[in-house]
Every structure is written in structure tokens, then in C-alpha cells.
Structure 1
Amino acid sequence: MAAPMTPVKYYPLGNICVVCGFSFVTKRVDESGNIIIDKCLEKKLRITPERRATLHNVCNLSDDIRFPSDMGVCQKCFRSMDRVLKAEKEALETRNKFQTNIRSTMSRYSVVVTSPSKVVIKKREIKSPGNIGIDKRLKASEEKQTHMLLPIVRVAPVQLKPFSLTENVAPLTFSFGTGLQPPTLLQEENLKQPLNIPGYSVVSVAPKENSGVSIAHKEKSSETDPVPKSSKRSLFSGKENKPKSDKCSLDGSVEVVLHYPSGKKSLIVKDDAHQQICKAIARGGNTDTAIVNVLLKSNPMELVHGSRKIVQAECKAISKRGSNALLQRKTHADFFSFRWEHFYQELKSTCPALLSIITATVSDIPPVIGSKPFLHAMQTVGVALHGRSQEMAVLQYMNGFLLSHGGCTQRDIERLSQIGLTVHPITLKRKLSDWQEVLDKEILEVRDSWADGGNAKYQIIGDNWDKNILPSYRTSDRKTLSLHLFHVYAILDRVSPTPHSSHSLAPHEIELSTFIPSVQEQEKLMKELTFLFSSSIVANHPQLEKQFGNIYPKHLEHRYSYCAGNKTKQYPLGLYDCNENKTPELIRLLKTLSIYVPCKDGEVVEPVFFGGDRLTDERVQTAQKDMANAETQLQRLQGFVSKIEDFHRLMNFLEAIHKLTYSTKSAVDRGTVYYYRNLLNMRNVKCEVYNAYRAYKMLYYVILDAICLLLFLHHMGVSDIEQEIDLPTNFATTSDQEKIDYIDSVSENILRKYFFDDTDDVFQNLRNIVCNPEHPENYWTLTLQDGRFKCHHCDKSYAHVLSLKAHEEKIHDVQIAKPSKKQKDKTQDQMHDYLLMLFKLVILHKNLDTSVDMGDGERAVRSPKYELPIYHITNKVKYAIGSIHLTSLTSGILSENQKERLVANRFVNLQGGKNNNVSLDEYLEMLNRDSKIACSGHKTKESILAHSKEYPHLINLVGHFDSITDIKNRKGFHHIPSYKEDVLKVLKDLQGANMLTHTPKREFTCQDLSFDRTPFQNAFVGLSTFIHRHKPNQPFIRLGDSHV
């Protein structure tokens, strides 16, 4: 065995601290000969010009010294030097403060004596307001010879005699905010009498002919002091008792006489500004304004200095720590309760001078609350008060939140914090981190209340969150980063149903006919389509719009109309590191979200609905299947019931319609959707439907409204939309309800003919085939009993239907003929049939769309029965399964209480109004869009996840800021000024093509479209087997039966 080496440590001369010599990089060799390099570069500070200046100041280094580039200074030494500079600065400030204080003290306590020989100084407590004569003044030579700290002014004493008052006194009082009467002017009859003025000064103004300033000394005083003699000219006329001209003497000088209880004092005022002030006092009226106007012209800086003191006092009071000012309240609730109006009212009551000055700076006239100048003034006040006190930082926080939401870099936010526009980014991060616990605080409180039997309940909605992050410089190692996360939010139920005693139906009691619309459901559909048809023709026909525009309802009443206009409460829960395509990650996510499941004594009180698109619905069920062998219900992930939401249903239903009716090869075929896309120049209708859903929807709705007008004009026997329609006699005098009933009856007749084909049950043929056990379509599934398929000819049974089929074909020679393909009708009018098929499909889509807008959950959950045949014939298997599951959830496998919650609480309402609802998953798409904007400043998966709980707060704060500053969202696709013109253009083209007249052998050039005017009739092939395979028997693990 080799002898161990002696450990050695090497300290390189470079890369050290220039102050203490600490080595940032050291190398050592251990006993085994291994070379170990220790780096402490995180303690190293680069010597920047600012740090070099600090080194020179503290260490007294000369400017010639230069440091090598690899040297630096350690954090410990540099902090010590900062403390040295701070201590020196404090010492200098303290020294200057002492010098200022002693100068102020010596000047404040200056001594005035009567003679140099006196040693004891006698000073009166209250200075007499009588005339004081000055016998002697200091000469310039004497002032230079004195060696005292302060100059001594020698004043000759004057003997003051008591001032006696007579009995006949004219009272004159002044009010200084104590409730006294306002002063009365000294008129001629009052001047003839002595004045009794207890405790106040009286100012009388009279002209003097001599110039200069003179101070009259009174040697003797009688019992009553005489008033100014009548021989002197007065500012007031003795005859009219009214003020004369302000120019009261030849040289413009004014005599001011001050009357005191102990005597009077008079002097000559020659300064023009002071004269105007005296005259303003004598005239009375709005004296303060007059004095201010004089000072504005003569000495405006004095007013500025006075205003400065007022503003300083106001700002000091409102900025004081603990003053509970609005800008000091920085809790989560305070930010969301902040209003500009509240801030304005607080400034108006506490800082009126500051508010007046700032608003005058911004605008010549007082700005209107909510206007742009008003917001500028409020922001200016916020920045100013933040400069005085760092606690006044609400507006700076809000600015920082806006910058963070927009993806501003941390460095830029730090730059703006230096000029007071925002707070430091680290401060922002701390505030958002403190708010993470607020994110789901209310939801957890509702969960506890729910577990204790409370009525308040909620749902959880989730969807995948995908984002591609492009590298700044693409290399082989730095490629596009594709993130797959999961976004979740919770929403409180708007409707809390009362508990029902009835139990849910057993799974086998759900008949196949349940998945096909019944006659009663089609009667409800007739009322709904009648409303849509009437609304369409009223909105687009000029005469009908004039007659019915103001009386026809905009909302179709339903069971939950009373709460459809109520705003809902949503709680975004942030992003989670989960790719829903990977089952283990989704299991981990559901375990994490299990904290939101109401439990009591370890048992689930009631499952929480987990909504999303069809993929999320399927993945949740797969996760529940994988955890089916766990011990408790919570561990089996049965605290969640997954369900499909309406926005993705709408999109996929339109995709199915698009598959039947849209082809780029049909550009020359008049009457097709693509033909009208080119005719209307809707260039935003392109690519797949899911990439341009709203553009496609607008195109189909334009064609639908044109078809409705065409059917209405044809029914009324009118060939042109400008031609007047014959209404019933005395139509103008009928009631509004009778008018509505009339137009609805016309619409119902049209729908009965063109949608229901003059029958009461348009699904009768489909129902007869699917529900008929003797039909060949149902031959193999007819003998299903207890999960096994029994042979029709013997006692054998099989677990798989394919095994039964092979058995009967081999043993019993059973051959079931496949349905032959429908032969093409050579006399078919493809244009006419295509138009009617398009009308039926699009109006069904609009029925589902408007049910979401109006918050009609019952209509929304009836729609899957009409969607299922269309999904089946277009091979959209996933959403066909989703339609079966949604119908099953509302038809037996859920309790009545849960069913009502599922039906009534399918929508989000952000702004209020009965027609302003959106589906739950569409709102999540909005959150995805906003969160992708908010995370634009973070470029890695780790940073996005670290800040994922902050994005909901930023989104909510930006939304709150938009609401208080009255920033309106852009309408986007909702603003279509040419919609009516497009409808009329399509209508004119349809009339020119004579679409409603059945013309045999009228064909399209493109044969890739469907021309079946009754698409529901031919959807029976394989439908019953499909329903058997995917019909669930419990709310959980609703996966297809692989045996069927």
C-alpha cells in the first residue's frame, strides 16, 4: 500500500481580495493525491469605477494605483467600508447640526440693554404696543469695534402711561374662528367717539401730506384718546358715508393708526403694495383675496414659501407611519378595494393644498374624476408622497404589477424604481410570495363548510397549458423548449340545489332510447328553434325590425333565468407540473388536488366535478382505473367526477358540420359554404376549425340568417326584402304579446316544414332501428346478460361479442348481411338538399351556442342527443363518447342533487347580464391566454413553475386596474359592422339561384360534400353497438367496455 501524501494547499497570487488578501480560488491536494479546487466567486465583487472610488476614499489610495483585472474585493470588506463612509457622513451631519443649533440659539436669545454700564438687564414679559422712541442708534464705527458675539442695540426707555377708556365707546370686534362678529368699518360717526377694543388691534387709515415714515410718540395721555381730527382728509366721505378714490393724498402715502388698550401707534405707509393692502383692509369685503392678489404681483415668492409650509405640513401628516392613509394599506384585500375616487376624497380632506397645486399643474380647469388629466394628477401625488415616505407605495406596487404582467425585465423594473415609479423587483416578489396562501384560502374555507353540510359548493376546471419558448440564439444545445403544464381554477356554484331524497337509477335502467331525442324533447326543441328563427328574421328584415325590434325578447326564459345574470366567483389555482398525456403525472396531480375534496373522518362527503375537454375527461378516468385497487375512496381518486364542457363541444360540433359541408374544391359551386366564403371575402376563414373557430362560426351564421330570411320570404309570398309584408288587420292595435305570438307562429310553421319535415318526430326512424332488438343492427348485442353474450342457438355464453360472432358463424352458420350502401338518387337536387341539411345542422349548433350565452343548462345537456348522430357519421369518436357520457350523467348514474348541480352550474359570468355567460372551459382558455402573457418574462420551466402561483394575482390585478381606470376590452370579432350587408348579399345570391325550388338532377361539381337532407336518418349503422360499448355504469372509470 502506497504511503499517503501530505495534504498541500496552494494560494494563487491572483484572484484575491485587494483589502484582506482572501483568495477566491484555492487549490489543495488531499492525502490520496486528488487535486481539489475550491471556488468562492460568489463572495467576490468586481472593482467597478464606483467601488474603486470607495476604496480610494476609505483607504487613502492615490489615483495612480491600478488593480489587476482578476482581483476584486470581498463582500465583507466592502460592507465594512460602506459602514465607514456612512459613519463619516453621520458625523459630518451631526457636526453641521450642532453648528446650526448654536447659531440659532445665540440669535434667538440676543440681549437688548438700555445702557452699556448696566449689568442687570430687565426685560418686560409683554411688550407695550405704545409709541417707542429711539434716542440713539449704533454707528457703523461702533458696530465694527464691538467684540461681542451678537450686536447690542441701545434703546432709550420710554415711560408708558395707562390707557383709560371712556364710557361712550363704539364697539368693534374681530372674528378669528371663535364665533365673533365680523369687523365693522370705521365710518365718520364712529371716528368721533373713542373706541373700546378689548384685546384686539384697530386699523384706521387716513391720508398724510408729509412724506416718509414717522412714528408718533405720545408723551401724555388723557382719559380718552382723541380720534383723528376732522380737518384731515379721510378716505371716507362725511356726507355719503361711502369710500372715495383709493388715491387719498398728493404723494399717495397712507397713514396707519393702530389702536391698543394701552394707546395707539401711527405710521406712514409709502410702499405701493403695502398701501394697497391697507386700502383692502379698510374697504372690507373679500380682504384675503385682495391681499393675495397684491402679493401675487409684488412678492409672489412669499406666497410660494407660505404654500410650501402648508404643503409640507399636509404631506408630513398623511405620510406619518401609522396614519392609515390609503397609500399605506398594502394587503391583498386593500389592493382590490382601491379606487381612484377614494384616493381623491382622502386627498381632498387631508391634503387640499397639495391636491390643488398638483391639479393646477396638470390642467387649468379642475379635471373630471376618471379622466386622463385626473389620473395623471393622482399618479403625480402618489410619486411625490412615495418620495417622502417609502410606506406610501400602493401606486408603485400597482405599477410594478403591471410591468411584471407585461414581461418587463427585472433590471428595467429596478431602473424605474430608482425614479419612484415602482418598487424594487425583489419587493414585488416578496409581496406576491406572501399572497400565495391567499390564492385558495376561500376555497379551503368553502371546502370545510361543505364537509360540515354547508350549501356552498364548487367545481374544478382544468386543461393543458402548452407553450413553446424560442431560444435567443439557437444552437445544437439550445433548442425550442416545449412546455406541457396543467392550468386549474375553481368556481363557486351559482345554484345550490336543495337535497333530494330520491336515489339514482341503476346503470342497467338507462335504456338505449335515452340517447335518442324523444318526442317531448323535440317539442322543447321546437320552442327553442322558434325563438332563434324569429330573432334572426327580426334582426335582419327592415320591416320586422321596425315592428318587433323593441318588443321581441332577447332572452329565452328557462328554469335558471333568475340567476343567469349573476356574476360568478372564480379562483385561479395556478399552473402545475403535469403533462396530461402521461398517466403517472396526472395521478400525481389528482393526488395534489385532493386537498380540495370535502372529507369527513377520512371519507369523501361528496365528489367534486372536474371539468375540461374530452382529453382531460378521458385521462382522469384512466387515472381512476389505474388506482382502482387502492384502499380508500380518496386514494382511488374517486373524489372527482370528470365531465366534458361546452366550448370544446361547440368547436367539435362545428368541425363535424364543416366536414359535411365545407370543401375547398367547391369554389365554383354556387350555394356552398366555401363559395360564400369567397363571395364575402372572409379571408380569416382558413386552415382548421380549431385554429379559426370564431371566423368559421361567423361565416356559418351569416349563411344561416340568409337561409332564414329566404324561407320566411318564400313562406310569406314575397320575392324581395324591400317589398312590404302583409300583416294581419288591426295589427298595430294589438298587444305586444299578441304580436310576438304571431311572428312565433309563422316561424313555427316554417320550421315544421323545413326542419321537422312535416312530422312531430324527426328521429323516429333512428329510434326504431336502435331500440328494436329484432333489427339486424342489434343482433349481436341483444343477448347481453350479466356482462356475457349468450348464443342465440345454444347455451354457451362469451365474454366478448367477437367470440360469439365467430361461434355462431362457425357452428350455427349464421351470416348477418351488412347493410348495403344507399344508392345514389339520379333525380336528386343536390343544391336543394345541401341547403336544407346546412340549415338543420347550423341552427342546432346555434341552439347550443345561445344556450351557453343565456346560461340555460337544461338546453345545453339536451344537445348531446342531437350531436351524437352527427359525431357518429363523421367518425368523431371521442366526442361521440363524450355525448354518451354527458347524457348518462344526467339520466341516471348521478344523484338528483348532483345532476342539478351539473346542469345548472356550467357557465361563468364575468360582467353580469342574462346573455353574457361563457362556458367553463372557454374561461380557462382566457386564463391560459392571460397567463402566457404574464409569464413572458420567464424563459425556463423552472422559473415559470416558481412564479406560477403569482400569475393569477397579476391577472386579477391587471383586470382590477382596467376596471378602475375604465379601460374597455377590445371587442375583436364581436364588432362586425358589415354583418347585415353580408346576410343580404348571401340572400340575394340564394334568391338568384332559386334554391328553394326542387330541380331534379341539379348537381354540384364537387362531390366531396354531403347532400343528405335528413342526416339523422342514416346514422343508425353501428350506433347501437357503439352506445352499448361506451354506456357507463358508474360516475367513475367511464371507459369503454372492451368486450362489446
Structure 2
Amino acid sequence: MIEILEHLQQYVPGARTELEEIQEREETNPKMQAIPVGGDQLTCERIRGAHMARLDGDTQEERLEGLITMVEDFHEKINFLQAMMDRFYKPGSARETGTLYQLRNVINRRNVTKNVSADYHAVGSFIDLVTSAHVIAAALKAFGMDSIEDPCPKVPLFTESADEGSKKRLLDKIVGEIVDTFFLNSLTVTVNRIEDDETAIEGPIVDDGVYNYATNVTKYGLLRKIYVLATRNGDGIRQIRHWKYGLLVYDLSHKIKYRLESFLLLAGVNALFTEKQRHQIIWNRFVNLSGGKDKNLDGDYVMELLNKYAKGRVKLLGPNQTPEIVDRIGKTMMFCHNVNEKLEREIGVHPAGIHHAQRDKTQDIKAVVNQLKNANVFSVIRGRQHDSFQEQFDMFQNVNSHALHKWLNVKKQEYSNGKYAF
């Protein structure tokens, strides 16, 4: 890792490319302008380990001060989804209507397993579908509708002839009622309890385990969907905001390394980094390979794609691999790929498909909505409980606010003393 950082540091503005006398450093070279280098949690951890190994260096270059860590988002999406599956997905709940495992069997998603890393896209697609179905079921309950096809009694007659501003205000009002009824109130109370370091605040947690399970699955699912949309739209502010929720989720699920990574990112963006570094970290989290609106990808996801492409080229070498050839492949693979695409266009070869055929999910959504509606998951019926989920929980109710505040204060104290907070 030290060798990698030494190589990357040549691209840092103000970094010396050749050794100079130590005493001439400040007079002949401007101070380095540190830039962020991104990666998943393990990469960031190793970068910080390399920094610690070089703390006794005589120059900025030897201490590798030209690079700062920036945790990226694709692998965090996997961990966030894993935290959700750990909490809400149990194979023993197959007979309990409305649970994730039961709904998975209803729509026959056999590629969905509790281990998200085995097939992230399958699990993510399933959770997004179930979240949409929960929102629809909540809307049906709030509006007193029997099916999706029924007219909504909340929509006045002749609404289609209104102007766009009026339609938007009406939509905001209708959606706001659903959010306030089922999702927002308890979440606000539990977050305020954590912020105020109080455990005595009573939240509106009802004595209905089925209702609590359904509303909390929806909250997790909506946080995930917002996170995915933020990536597609290149919304860095919303990406950083998600890590605030992520810190609480990882504290609750005992994912201590991602909890620490959440703290380090938020501390850097809000207090430690310069304005330029802050701007780079917020807005340089995305890559758009194909151009166009809503097609941004996470930086570490694009790196996974490039690694897969490079490994395919290296595999073709068979036993003829040498470090020089592998290095040449890494430096030229995108150039060769672009040349290949241009040549295919000129000779009329049909380009390879870049879009996956999307299966129509309408019937699956209707099936899940019917399950939720028949089980009355959004009606408060006191005393109900899923046998596999005995916990009467709200999203962050079980976060130990005293322990979390103590941990945060320790980390802030380490930073204020000029130490590494890890």
C-alpha cells in the first residue's frame, strides 16, 4: 500500500517528483495540496495504516501527506443492505405473512439469500420491490381504497385540468399525510432521543409487532432507495446525509468498522477538511461511463467493473503473464476498448447490449400488496407479534445513546489532540 500511495502521490499538486535537500523544501516547493483517494472501507483502513507507518518521515512526501482517504459508497450500500437483512430476514418466518422471507417465497425470488454479497443486485431489487409494495399498501390503508385500480378519494374532481403547481401541492399534501401517519413520527422521536442523549423519551411505538415490523422495513427500504437515487443523480449532499443514518445503523448492527468510517467521513466533511477538499469529497463520488441523465455510478463500483475487465484480459495470457505485460494491460485497456468500439461502429458490427432486459414487476408488486393488505400490516391491532421477531422495535430505538455519545466524544477528543481517531 505504501508503494501504491508513493506512485499516486506524483499526481498531487505541489508534490516533489525528485528528492531534494530537506532544508530546501519550504523555499523551493509550494506546500502540497492534498487530494482525496477513494476506496471501500478496507482500502481506507489500509491507507491510514500506511500513513501511520510513515509518521516519522522527514518530508511531506515521505509522510504521504498528499493523499487523504475518501470512503466510497457501493460497498457501503452492500453493508447497509446486509444490516437490513440481518434484522428483518429470517428463514424461520416462512409462515408469517408480511415478513421478508414469506414475501420472497410468494414471488419466487429464489436467488435472494441472507448473504447480500452472494448476489447484491438480486437482493437490492427484491428489497426495492417490497419497499414499493409497502408504500402502496400504506397508501391504500390511508385512503380507504380496496385496490390499486380504485379512484383515490383524496384527489378532487377535475384535478387533471389544474396547473402543475396546484397538482404538486396536492401531491405533497397527500404524500405528507401517509408519511406522517406511518413513518415519520416515530423516526423523529427516536432520532431526537439519540441527539439529546435521553432514554426516557417515550416514542409512539404501538403494541403491535406486525405493524412495527412493516413500518420499519419500509423506513429502511426508503433510505436505501433514496441513497440509490442520489447516486444516479450525482447528489453528493444527499449521499453524505445518508452516512448520518448509516452511523446509527452500523452502531445498532455492531458493524464497528463502518461505524468508524461513517464518523471519519462526516468529521472530515464538516470540520477537518479544507473547503476545496470538502467539495472534492462531496462531488467526486460518481462516474458516468455512458453519459446522459441519471446514469451516474459509484466510484468503487466502476473500479470493480474495471478490475473485472482487466482480469479477463490477463486471463487470456494463460501462462505468459509477466509484471510488465500486466502493467501494460492496465495502462492501455480502456484505450484498446475504445478503439475496438470505434472499429466495430465503422464496419457495421452491432454493438453489444449495455442494458439488461427489465422484467415486468407489476404482478409481483400486486402479489406483495395483496399479502400485506390481507394481513392488515398497516392496521394497529394491539397484541399481534411475528413469532420470529419478538422485539418491539422502532428503527433506532435500541441504539444505546449513552454509549454512542461516549464513543463520539472520545473520537472528537483524539482529533482535537492532533491524533488519528482510529
Contact 1:829 1:1003 in 2 (8 A): yes
Once the two structures are superposed, residues 542-569 of structure 1 have per-residue CA deviations (whole angstroms, 9 ceiling, x without a partner) of: xxxxxxxxxxxxxxxxxxxxxxxxxxxx
CA distance in 1, matches of 2:76, 2:185: 27
CA distance in 1, matches of 2:71, 2:192: 28
Query: Of residues 182, 189, 193 in structure 2, which corresponds to 1:754?
Result: 182
SS of 2:68 mapped into structure 1:
strand
1:967 aligns with 2:351: yes
2:3 corresponds in structure 1 to 588
2:50 corresponds in structure 1 to 623
CA distance in 2, matches of 1:597, 1:1037: 24
1:7 corresponds in structure 2 to none
CA distance in 1, matches of 2:165, 2:398: 37
2:22 corresponds in structure 1 to none
1:768 corresponds in structure 2 to 196
Contact 1:604 1:639 in 2 (8 A): no
SS of 1:643 mapped into structure 2:
strand
Query: Of residues 124, 147, 156 in structure 2, which corresponds to 1:720?
Result: 147
Query: Of residues 195, 211, 229 in structure 2, which corresponds to 1:832?
Result: 211
Query: Of residues 683, 686, 699 in structure 1, which corresponds to 2:126?
Result: 699
2:408 corresponds in structure 1 to 1027
CA apart distance, 1:621:
0.8
1:151 corresponds in structure 2 to none
Contact 1:935 1:944 in 2 (8 A): no
SS of 1:721 mapped into structure 2:
coil
1:733 aligns with 2:117: no
CA distance in 2, matches of 1:952, 1:981: 47
Contact 1:685 1:692 in 2 (8 A): yes
SS of 2:168 mapped into structure 1:
helix
Query: Of residues 230, 241, 258 in structure 2, which corresponds to 1:879?
Result: 258
SS of 2:36 mapped into structure 1:
strand
Kindly report which structure 2 residues correspond to 1:457-606, keeping only aligned pairs within 5 A, or say none: 586-599=1-14, 601-606=28-33
1:896 aligns with 2:275: yes
Q: Mark the CA change 1:990 to 1:687 in structure 2 (over 3 Å): closer, same or farther.
A: closer
1:1013 corresponds in structure 2 to 394
Query: Of residues 680, 686, 692 in structure 1, which corresponds to 2:107?
Result: 680
1:859 corresponds in structure 2 to 238
CA distance in 2, matches of 1:898, 1:941: 43
- What letter is aligned with 1:595? Q
SS of 1:757 mapped into structure 2:
helix
CA apart distance, 1:911:
1.6
CA distance in 2, matches of 1:647, 1:672: 26
CA distance in 2, matches of 1:657, 1:1016: 15
SS of 1:641 mapped into structure 2:
strand
Contact 1:830 1:1002 in 2 (8 A): yes
CA apart distance, 1:615:
0.7
SS of 2:297 mapped into structure 1:
strand
CA apart distance, 1:758:
7.0
Kindly report which structure 2 residues correspond to 1:177-576, keeping only aligned pairs within 5 A, or say none: none
Contact 1:867 1:883 in 2 (8 A): yes
CA distance in 1, matches of 2:220, 2:90: 16
SS of 1:1006 mapped into structure 2:
coil
Once the two structures are superposed, residues 624-673 of structure 1 have per-residue CA deviations (whole angstroms, 9 ceiling, x without a partner) of: 11111111111101110011001111111111111111112211211111
CA distance in 2, matches of 1:613, 1:931: 19
Kindly report which structure 2 residues correspond to 1:57-136, keeping only aligned pairs within 5 A, or say none: none
CA apart distance, 1:987:
0.2
SS of 2:270 mapped into structure 1:
coil
CA apart distance, 1:597:
1.7
CA distance in 2, matches of 1:956, 1:930: 13
Contact 1:621 1:1039 in 2 (8 A): no
CA distance in 2, matches of 1:640, 1:1030: 21
SS of 2:228 mapped into structure 1:
helix
Contact 2:314 2:329 in 1 (8 A): no
Q: Mark the CA change 1:609 to 1:715 in structure 2 (over 3 Å): closer, same or farther.
A: same
CA distance in 2, matches of 1:761, 1:1005: 27
CA distance in 2, matches of 1:765, 1:634: 45
1:846 corresponds in structure 2 to 225
Contact 1:861 1:887 in 2 (8 A): yes
Q: Mark the CA change 1:1030 to 1:882 in structure 2 (over 3 Å): closer, same or farther.
A: same
Q: Is there any run of 5+ residues in structure 1 with no aligned partner, and where?
A: 1-585, 776-818
CA distance in 1, matches of 2:187, 2:214: 19
Query: Of residues 358, 361, 369 in structure 2, which corresponds to 1:987?
Result: 369
CA distance in 1, matches of 2:51, 2:319: 32
Query: Of residues 998, 1001, 1004 in structure 1, which corresponds to 2:380?
Result: 998
1:953 corresponds in structure 2 to 332
Contact 1:660 1:1010 in 2 (8 A): no
Q: Mark the CA change 1:700 to 1:996 in structure 2 (over 3 Å): closer, same or farther.
A: same
- What letter is aligned with 1:752? D
Q: Please report the TM-score for the alignment, with normalisation by the length of structure 1.
A: 0.37
Aligned-residue CA RMSD in angstroms? Answer: 2.6
CA distance in 2, matches of 1:762, 1:966: 55
Once the two structures are superposed, residues 40-94 of structure 1 have per-residue CA deviations (whole angstroms, 9 ceiling, x without a partner) of: xxxxxxxxxxxxxxxxxxxxxxxxxxxxxxxxxxxxxxxxxxxxxxxxxxxxxxx
1:669 corresponds in structure 2 to 96
Q: Please report the TM-score for the alignment, with normalisation by the length of structure 2.
A: 0.87
Kindly report which structure 2 residues correspond to 1:111-190, keeping only aligned pairs within 5 A, or say none: none
CA apart distance, 1:831:
1.2
Once the two structures are superposed, residues 388-412 of structure 1 have per-residue CA deviations (whole angstroms, 9 ceiling, x without a partner) of: xxxxxxxxxxxxxxxxxxxxxxxxx
CA distance in 1, matches of 2:117, 2:58: 42
More helix by share: 2
CA distance in 2, matches of 1:941, 1:630: 39
- What letter is aligned with 1:626? A
Q: Identity across aligned pairs (percent)?
A: 24
Once the two structures are superposed, residues 688-747 of structure 1 have per-residue CA deviations (whole angstroms, 9 ceiling, x without a partner) of: 111211111111111100111111112222121121223213312211232122112211
Q: Mark the CA change 1:1010 to 1:927 in structure 2 (over 3 Å): closer, same or farther.
A: farther
2:18 corresponds in structure 1 to none
CA distance in 2, matches of 1:758, 1:616: 36
More strand by share: 1
Once the two structures are superposed, residues 898-947 of structure 1 have per-residue CA deviations (whole angstroms, 9 ceiling, x without a partner) of: 21121122110112223110111010011011111111123469525532
- More displaced 10-residue stretch of structure 1: 701-710 or 728-737: 728-737
2:25 corresponds in structure 1 to none
Q: Is there any run of 5+ residues in structure 2 with no aligned partner, and where?
A: 16-27
1:708 aligns with 2:135: yes
- What letter is aligned with 2:254? N
2:315 corresponds in structure 1 to 936
SS of 1:996 mapped into structure 2:
coil
CA apart distance, 1:976:
3.0
Q: Mark the CA change 1:722 to 1:886 in structure 2 (over 3 Å): closer, same or farther.
A: same
CA distance in 1, matches of 2:189, 2:233: 26
Query: Of residues 970, 977, 991 in structure 1, which corresponds to 2:359?
Result: 977
Q: Which has the larger Rg?
A: 1
- What letter is aligned with 2:266? T
SS of 1:720 mapped into structure 2:
coil
Q: Which has the higher contact order (CA 8 A, sep 6+)?
A: 2
Query: Of residues 292, 301, 312 in structure 2, which corresponds to 1:922?
Result: 301
CA apart distance, 1:996:
1.2
Contact 2:35 2:277 in 1 (8 A): no
